Amino acid sequence: MEVPTGKRVSMFELFYDLVFAYMIAQATDLIHHLHHGVLSSTTLLIFVFVIVVFINSWMVQSVFTNRYGKSSWIDIGFTFVDMMILLYMSNAFAATLNTDLHPFFIAAGLLSLTLLLQYLIVFIRTREPVDRRIAADFAAILLLRTVTLLVAGILPLRYGLPLALVGILVSWIAPAFTGHHTRQHPIIFSHLLERLTLLTIITFGEAIVGIATFFTKIELSWTSVCVFMIIAALFFIYIVQFDHLIETKRTGETGNLLIYLHYPIIFGLSLVTVSLHFVADAEANLNFAVTALYIGIGLLLFGTWVAKHYNQAAFLNHNHMGVWFTLTTLIGYALSLWFDAFPEIVTTTAIMTVIACSYTVYYHFHAQNNS
- CB atoms < 10 A from the CB of 44, how many? 16
Confidence of residue 318 (pLDDT cuts 50, 70, 90): low
Residue 294 has pLDDT above 80, yes or no: yes
Residue pLDDT, tens place only, 58-115: 888 888 888 888 878 888 898 899 989 988 888 876 655 556 788 888 999 999 999 9
Confidence of residue 350 (pLDDT cuts 50, 70, 90): very high
Q: Read off the amino acid at residue 110.
A: L
> What proportion of the chain, given as a percentage, has pLDDT over 70?
93
Question: Using one digit for the tens of pLDDT, what is the confidence trace for 179-197?
Answer: 777 788 888 888 889 999 9
pLDDT band with cut points at 50, 70 and 90 for residue 370: low
Q: Does the model's pTM come out above 0.85?
A: yes
Of 209 and 300, which is predicted with more confidence?
300
- Return d(Cα 329, Cα 310) in angstroms, integer: 23
Looking at residue 183, its pLDDT comes to 82
Worst-scoring range by mean pLDDT, 123-137, 230-244, 264-278, 357-371? 357-371
Q: How far is CA 328 from the centre of its chain?
A: 23
More confident residue, 1 or 123: 123
Question: How large is the average pLDDT for residues 288-293?
Answer: 92
Counting residues of the chain whose pLDDT is more than 90, the rounded percentage is 35
10 Å CB burial of residue 338 (0-12, 13-18, 19+) is exposed
HSE-CB at 231 with a 13 A cutoff on CA atoms is: 26
CA distance 203 to 200: 5
pLDDT at residue 4 above 60? no
* Single-letter amino acid code for the residue at 67: R
Residue 38's DSSP bridge partners are: 35
Q: Are 90 and 23 in contact (CB under 8 A)?
A: yes
pLDDT tens digit sequence for 151-166: 999 999 888 888 988 9
| pLDDT value of residue 279 | 87
Q: Are 155 and 163 in contact (CB under 8 A)?
A: yes
Give the helix/strand (H/E) hosting 233. Answer: helix 222-239
CB atoms within 10 A of CB 263: 18
Average pLDDT over residues 226-232: 95
Average pLDDT value for the chain: 86
**Residue bearing the bigger pLDDT, 186 or 333:** 333
Mean pLDDT lowest among 7-16, 155-164, 331-340, 341-350: 7-16
Burial class (CB in 10 A: 0-12, 13-18, 19+), 220: exposed
Contacts of 338 (CB under 8 A, 6+ apart): none
Contact 205, 161 (CB under 8 A): no
Lowest mean pLDDT among 100-109, 314-323, 331-340: 314-323
Highest mean pLDDT: which range of 228-237, 240-249, 303-312: 228-237
CA-based nearest residue to 115, from 149, 91, 90: 149
For residue 139, the model assigns a pLDDT of 92
Residue type, position 236, single letter:
F
**C-alpha to C-alpha distance for 53 and 44, rounded to whole angstroms:** 14
Q: Let me know: does 204 contact 269? Beta carbons within 8 Å.
A: yes
Question: Which residue in 285, 262, 255, 290 sits closest to 275, CA to CA?
Answer: 290
How far is it, in rounded angstroms, from Cα 180 to Cα 190?
21
pLDDT at 3: 55
